[in-house]
Amino acid sequence: MTIPETTHPREDPQETRAIAAIRGGDEGAYDYLVTKYLKRVVSVAWNIVRNAHDAEDLAQEAFVRAYRNLNRFREGEPFGPWIYRIVTNLALDVVKHQSRFRHEEITGQEPAARRDLANLPAETNELAMRIDAALESLPEMQRVVARLSLVEGFDHPEIAGMMGLSEGTVRSHLSLARRKLREKLNDLYEGPDD
């Protein structure tokens, strides 16, 4: 007879022990969770607020809130989606309260064309800047969903959970974002059906 597995497929036994230890009064056990998730939490925040200082502050605030509210955390669930949801909500609050302004692009003369590949890093950087600008031009929800999906690699259910949206709404925002990005970056596509 096989006993069905009752743990979450991505469960980390050390994470489970750390959460139990924190709930038991061992504050130092929280270091494991912070170490495990810090880079991704900062990255999620940065992809929403687009400011490194704010992203670091939001990550710190997210971990403080998670620690203070650990009694609300569902036992047996992975910590990652919960902390990502907290930082996403904090970052969205910051974006809602920011005054928006656009920077004008400074253009210079085109450099002479080169025959070798020495300008490849510059071209790659220019391409990344164009893609980033196209993402930034999207309406807020489309931009956030697109960055969480296309840049961070979260799937629809994860984004839905992080943002408090239905999966259908996430799919809709992502579909609209992709269509607008394709229009803005049309010259980068091979053909009309790509």
For 131-137, the CB contacts below 8 A with 24+ separation are 131/181, 131/185, 134/180, 134/181, 134/184, 134/185, 135/181, 136/50, 137/180, 137/184
Average pLDDT on 16-38 reads 95
8 A C-beta contact, residue 132 and residue 184: no
User: What proportion of the chain, given as a percentage, has pLDDT over 70?
Assistant: 78
| 38-42, 96-100, 123-127, 144-148: least confidently modelled range | 96-100
**What is the band of 6 on the pLDDT scale with cuts at 50, 70, 90?**
very low
Residue-range domain boundaries for the chain: 13-96, 125-188
**What is the band of 123 on the pLDDT scale with cuts at 50, 70, 90?**
low
Q: Report d(CA 122, CA 120) in Å as an integer.
A: 5
The fold adopted by the segment(s) 13-96 is: Rna Polymerase Sigma Factor; Chain: A (1.10.1740)
- The structure tokens listed for 114 are 């080169």
User: What proportion of the chain, given as a percentage, has pLDDT over 90?
Assistant: 59
**What is the band of 120 on the pLDDT scale with cuts at 50, 70, 90?**
very low
**What is the band of 84 on the pLDDT scale with cuts at 50, 70, 90?**
very high
**What is the band of 38 on the pLDDT scale with cuts at 50, 70, 90?**
very high
The fold adopted by the segment(s) 125-188 is: Arc Repressor Mutant, subunit A (1.10.10)
8 A C-beta contact, residue 128 and residue 146: no
60 pLDDT more than 80? yes
pTM, entire model: 0.71
Mean pLDDT of the chain: 82
